Amino acid sequence: MALPAAIDPTRAPPEERPRAGLVAAEHGADLALVERAAEGCHACDLWARATQVVFGEGPVPARLMFVGEQPGDREDRAGKPFVGPAGGIFSKALGEAGIDRETVFVTNVVKHFKWRPAPGSKRRLHERPNKAEVGACLPWVEAELRLVRPEGLVLLGATATEALLGWGVSVTRDRGQQLESDLAPYVVATVHPSSILRAGPRREAAYDAFVADLRAVAELIA
């Protein structure tokens, strides 16, 4: 079905692309068209210093959808979500929980890498996106949700949890439990896999707890 030109999101002004993408997804646009519109998005300033937009990846529809914060250095270069160090932990944990990464949709709430230069080096250091940047980008993940229609939605870390569920949920307190939300039949928040990399001597325990949360999700949708 061809999309009427009036709601083709690739024709929308760069500042208005996120909302145009969501409207298009609601009217039958496919993921490829919505992603193409996102490639020209200037709804906040992050596009200017990022290499490219990093949109979600995976089957559409999919039974499970995972949402992280924003692409990191490796993701920014590759144009794919969760392919760097945090992605390595994430993929390994998925496997241990009996979830095949190829069958799930993986994305982020913010689609461009926000970074600052490391003093005296060429390294790019992750910077947390602010409220305005998260708000500007939010319609893209809403469009992905619309298209993917997951049975289980898993929010990885505080940025994704706060963006999609608001302030009432604490990842530390509520992790691994089924949460009240209209976004999907089952919604669960857990830690961001990068927190496991930073857990020092608690790393093994943090990883095991993450796998346990993923197992709980797999059981919920089984």
Among 17, 29, 41, 69, binds ligand URA (CB under 6 A): 69
Name residues contacting ligand URA, limited to 11-50 (CB under 6 A).
none
Binding of ligand URA by 71 (CB under 6 A): yes
| Angle between helix 158-165 and 131-148 (nearest 10) | 70
The window from 71-79, 97-105, 140-148, 198-206 that contacts ligand URA (CB under 6 A) reads 71-79
Place of tokens 């325990």: 205
SS (H, E, C) 171-182: HHHHCCCECCCC
Name residues contacting ligand URA, limited to 135-194 (CB under 6 A).
194
Q: Which is nearer to ligand URA, 197 or 218 (CB)?
A: 197
Query: What DSSP element (H or E) covers 195?
Result: helix 193-197
Cβ 81 vs Cβ 170: under 8 Å: no
Query: What DSSP element (H or E) covers 115?
Result: strand 115-117
* Site map 93..132 versus ligand URA, x via CB under 6 A: ---------------x------------------------
Minimum distance between the CB of residue 4 and ligand URA, rounded to whole angstroms? 33
Position 89, amino acid: I
- The tokens describing 199, both together, are 């857990």
Question: Which residues of the shown chain bind ligand URA in the complex (CB under 6 A)?
Answer: 68-72, 75, 81-82, 84, 86-87, 108, 194
